[in-house]
Structure 1
Amino acid sequence: MEISLKVHRTIHKKGTEQTPFSLIYGTEAVIPIKLVVPTKRIRSFDESSNEEGLRTNLDMLEECREIAAIREAINKQKISKYYDKRVKPMSFRIKDYVWCNNEASRAESTGKLGPNWEGPYKVIDTSAMGPYILAGINGERVPRTWHATNLKRCYT
């Protein structure tokens, strides 16, 4: 587990184009294998210039974090735009019949081969924000509201 965390902190992330280690400490990490097998960076190490470089990196750290935050926001906008193009908005009208997702209702698990949907229920009220109030076939209200993502149209 510890090794996988170290690897995660030293890999450049797509959203920020930085490593998590460099965003925290202001410099790139030297992984242990590079100490055993010397690289150009290790061979050209000079303690006095290293100290000066670390101070410069710490001075620039806040600016690097701001740039990473901007890059991450741009990346999130791209992902959101991609998602929004493909999402199909669902809406139901009053008196429509719907099925409710069994996992969302927190009903008792009926096992692997049990039903995934329960119902049918009838939509008795809705608001502009999206929650739906449902009632059973017998007219008894369901005790909570439901979001459209947890409902599926029932064709009766």
Structure 2
Amino acid sequence: MMYDTQVVIPAEIGMPTLRTTKIDLTKNNEALGMNLDLIKERREQAAIQEAKSKKKMEKYYNSRVRDTSFKPGDMVYRSNEASHARDEGKLGPKWEGPYEVKESLGKGAYKLKDYKGNEIPRT
């Protein structure tokens, strides 16, 4: 199965069949040697193809992602799932707030404060 060789059933080894008698071991060994020589090139080609595919997927994703960033002083809402404040079922509010952005920490993380000026924990 590997390297273009066929699997031989143990019964065929003890009792010669057409398939086992017609095999040329020197040709088979040469073919295996050539395949082993080409394996490095095939791996390189696969790595190049994988990199192209990943680049294409990244380009597709980045073309559809909307980048949002907030500055200190902006008013925002926070997802109710993020805070785990209350679970009122499917008819409950999905967002809580509004909150004011106190500080931008980078990579979409912000320090928030409520309308009274109290800092919101775990933000």
TM above 0.5, yes or no, is yes
1:136 aligns with 114
**Deviating 4+ runs (over 4 angstroms):** 127-130
Is contact 2:105–2:111 with CA below 8 Å preserved after alignment?
Answer: no
2:47 aligns with 69
Q: Which residue of 52, 66, 77 corresponds with 1:88?
A: 66
Q: Sequence identity of aligned pairs in percent? A: 41
Structure scoring higher RCO (CA < 8 A, sep ≥ 6) equals 1
TM-score of the pair, normalised by structure 1: 0.51
1:1-156 counterparts in 2 under 5 A?
Answer: 27=3, 46=23, 48=25, 49-103=27-81, 105=82, 107=84, 110=87, 112-113=89-90, 114-126=92-104, 130-145=108-123
For 2:110 and 2:116, the matched residues in 1 are separated by 18
1:97 to partner: Cα distance? 1.6
1:54 to partner: Cα distance? 3.3
| 1:35-73 per-position Cα deviation (integer Å, ceiling 9, x unaligned) | xxxxxxxx8x94734454333323322221111111111
TM-score of the pair, normalised by structure 2: 0.61
1:87 to partner: Cα distance? 2.1
Is contact 2:101–2:113 with CA below 8 Å preserved after alignment?
Answer: yes
Return closer, same or farther for 1:109/1:77 CA change in 2, 3 Å cut-off: farther
1:90 to partner: Cα distance? 0.8
The one-letter code sitting in structure 2 at the alignment partner of 1:126 is S
Aligned residue pair count? 105
Return closer, same or farther for 1:109/1:129 CA change in 2, 3 Å cut-off: closer
Return closer, same or farther for 1:71/1:143 CA change in 2, 3 Å cut-off: same
1:136 to partner: Cα distance? 2.2
- Secondary structure at the aligned position of 2:45 is classed as helix
1:134 to partner: Cα distance? 0.9
